[in-house]
Amino acid sequence: MDFYWTGSAAGAKILSIICNQGPISRAALCRITKQARSTMSLQVEQLLQLGLIEEKPIDTDSKAQARTLLKLSEKPGVFLAVFLGLTHFKVALCRTDTTIINFKIERGNMTDGPINILQKVHICITGLLSDENLTQDKIIGLGIALPGPIDYRKGMVSSPLGVVSTWHNYPLKTVLHNQYGCPVIVDNDVHAMALGEQHRGSAKNNNDFIMVKLATGIGASIVADGKLYRGSKGAAGFISHNQVEGNSTPCICGKQGCLEVVAGGAAIARQGMEAIYAGKSPILAQLLQSKPELSEEDRLPQIAKQLPELLSRNIGRVTASDIAIAANMGDSVSFEILQRSARAIGSIMAHQINFNNPSLVILAGPLTKLGDKYLSTIRQVILEKAMPLMTVDLEIKTSQLDDMQGLIGTCLLAQSEYFSFDKIRKQLDANKLRVTKKSN
């Protein structure tokens, strides 16, 4: 890389390299920055003085000489990462280098609104701090990610539609900053997942990829030339409301045939319930009967008219996983429900691939666990419908991070805010001024 920075800007850039590539040796920093060791060491010493980094030997093979590496210091404190899903949320305590110390997963429906969900999140945070014998003043940054379009600068949801409607224009960033007294950054859930994959997952050495979340809802995130692209309204990659050709299923957005209501996890479950009440799938009906939370009254066929209410209450319903089980048991109706979903996702993704020309597509989320046939159909449709030029070297992978990429990415958001270039530069300038005054 060409290193154009000097003075405090050089120090801030060196810290960003340590953030992204550390632990790292001084020799490696010299190779990356192409600076003389003496010049680079001046910046490193200032970062050490400020307590932002530390230099420690690492464990090595007994036959190899021990190496001393530069890494982010843990003295400043810990980051909080909050990843909100439609029905569950995760909260993690993370070190400054974004490794997760401890985390919790709890139930929480986003339709309950921000006040109720944030109360539950706070209970989790309190428990995590207590478990690690930490106090709230040790929190130095908080990242939070949630579904829907996000006004990244204002730190709030910018959509009055759907399950996030109760979060629309809620001053999330301000509320959390006032509560925890630390910098807060708010972003879309799939954007956070993309950052996690870029940092530790399948996209670690890839500068052009698309992250796709296949869950209750469906979303995508675009990384181009190594940078996350959010768009002017924070809605880049918002494929959930792309229309599926030939489908007229009504959507809450007012249109018909949107990908989410055709192919998302909730849509798959809805189609399964419709098949049960239409008497088309005895196997699914049997799976439904086995659910203990379903009352005898709810099992009666004549309550088909209550289906929308049952689905909204999440009571006595089959899930997308149940549909996959039924398909594996030979149920042709369930198999076709999954195939429709996979074909719709593949078709929409083909358009996205033609437009963005990525070298990698990463699929993540609960729907990726519906079986090899489901995933192979998505891949097949992409290859059929995208231009050959776009797919000749295209890789399509499922995430290997066990649904932790969102937490990792959310912590990276907090880290990027705390160690932002401008903030570090100001700290280095202030430190230089203090040293100058002392010497005078």
- State the average pLDDT over residues 184-209: 95
- Same domain for 109 and 240, yes or no, is no
- Same domain for 255 and 379, yes or no, is yes
Binned at pLDDT 50, 70 and 90, residue 35 comes out as confident
Return the structure tokens found at 369: 């666990």
pLDDT of 439 > 70? The answer is no
> What are the tens digits of pLDDT across the range 122-174?
999 999 999 999 999 999 999 999 998 999 899 999 887 777 889 999 999 99
pLDDT of 2 > 50? The answer is yes
Taking Cα atoms as reference points, which of 68, 45, 65, 46 lies closest to residue 55? 68
Binned at pLDDT 50, 70 and 90, residue 57 comes out as confident
| In-domain check, residue 64 | no
Residue-level pLDDT at 1: 54
- Same domain for 25 and 37, yes or no, is yes
- Same domain for 413 and 432, yes or no, is no
Residue-level pLDDT at 328: 94
Residue-level pLDDT at 66: 60
pLDDT of 279 > 90? The answer is yes
Return the structure tokens found at 58: 């690492």
pLDDT of 297 > 50? The answer is no
Return the structure tokens found at 353: 């691939």
- Same domain for 184 and 218, yes or no, is no
* Number of domains making up the chain: 3
Binned at pLDDT 50, 70 and 90, residue 300 comes out as very low
| In-domain check, residue 108 | yes
Residue-level pLDDT at 59: 65
> What are the tens digits of pLDDT across the range 379-424?
999 999 999 999 999 999 999 998 899 999 999 999 999 999 999 9
> What average pLDDT does the structure give for the chain?
88
- Same domain for 427 and 411, yes or no, is no
Residue-level pLDDT at 316: 56
| In-domain check, residue 303 | no
Distance CA 263, CA 342 (A): 7
- Same domain for 31 and 45, yes or no, is yes
- Same domain for 47 and 100, yes or no, is no
CATH of the domain at 158: 3.30.420.40
| In-domain check, residue 301 | no
- Same domain for 96 and 156, yes or no, is yes
More confident residue, 307 or 20: 20
> What are the tens digits of pLDDT across the range 340-389?
999 999 999 999 999 999 999 999 999 999 999 999 999 999 999 999 99
pLDDT of 435 > 70? The answer is no
| In-domain check, residue 290 | no
- Same domain for 122 and 244, yes or no, is no
| In-domain check, residue 91 | yes
| In-domain check, residue 325 | yes
Binned at pLDDT 50, 70 and 90, residue 310 comes out as very low
| In-domain check, residue 164 | yes
Q: What is the pTM of this model?
A: 0.88
| Domain containing residue 134 | 78-198+404-418
- State the average pLDDT over residues 235-249: 91
- State the average pLDDT over residues 167-187: 96
- Same domain for 211 and 349, yes or no, is yes
Residue-level pLDDT at 293: 55
- Same domain for 185 and 213, yes or no, is no
